[in-house]
Amino acid sequence: GLGDTGHGWSEALAGIKSPHVKYICPHAPVMPVSLNMNMAMPSWFDIIGLSPDSREDEAGIKQAAENVKALIDQEVKNGIPSNRIILGGFSQGGALSLYTALTTQQKLAGVIALSCWLPLRTSFPQGIISGVNKEIPVLQCHGDCDPLVPLMFGSLTVEKLKSMINPANVTFRTYSGMMHSSCIEEMMDVKQFIDKHLPPVD
């Protein structure tokens, strides 16, 4: 998430780890963020505004996606096939995970998108994507009291996703009373998704 480092989520994930899975929580680079009066903070790309019609940092989003693809390539070199890799993120990181999965030529095991939106949504052609991930399983989660990224953005994103990939593989979970954060119930859903799509291999 914007302004956070990988440490925050590595602690959250510590409670749901499976012994056969490797968890990587990368840090975003530090950059000035327009939304926060150009203050420098960890950010995957610039955010200009938080409404559906806000201008988006297209070059920054595409560069960030390339950085994530490079991380995936590194793991593939280490011997983990890309179809055993799940991308996940919260807020800005979730947005980046969705965008990367829909644009990469690496076949992935799934995406976990928490309290987020799909960036550059108008840049995708209508209908099913042509890439390798048109059957990708997606777990999208959102708090129904999110004041920062409203639940409506999550709902619109789910509808858009269902038109781009196999809708049967898109799961949308909402959590009553949850704001722009996480909760135990959500983490259990995340654990279930990871365990289902990354079963142990002999």
Q: Give pLDDT tens digits for 124-168.
A: 988 999 889 999 999 999 999 999 999 999 999 999 999 999 999
User: Which residue in 46, 146, 182, 197 is the catalytic one?
Assistant: 146
Rounded CA gap, 125 and 106, in Å? 19
Q: In 21-137, where do the E strands start and end? A: 30-33, 39-42, 86-90, 110-114
Active site residue 91: yes
Q: Is the pLDDT of residue 50 over 90?
A: no
Strand partners, 114: 90, 141
Active site residue 146: yes
Q: How many CB atoms lie within 10 A of CB 136?
A: 26
Mean pLDDT of the chain, nearest integer: 96
Report the run of H or E that residue 185 belongs to, with start and end. Answer: helix 184-197
Rounded CA gap, 154 and 160, in Å? 10
Above pLDDT 70, what percent of the chain? 100
Residue 109 confidence (pLDDT): 98
Residue 51 confidence (pLDDT): 84
Active site residue 10: no
User: Which residue in 34, 180, 181, 195 is the catalytic one?
Assistant: 180
User: Which residue in 43, 82, 91, 115 is the catalytic one?
Assistant: 91
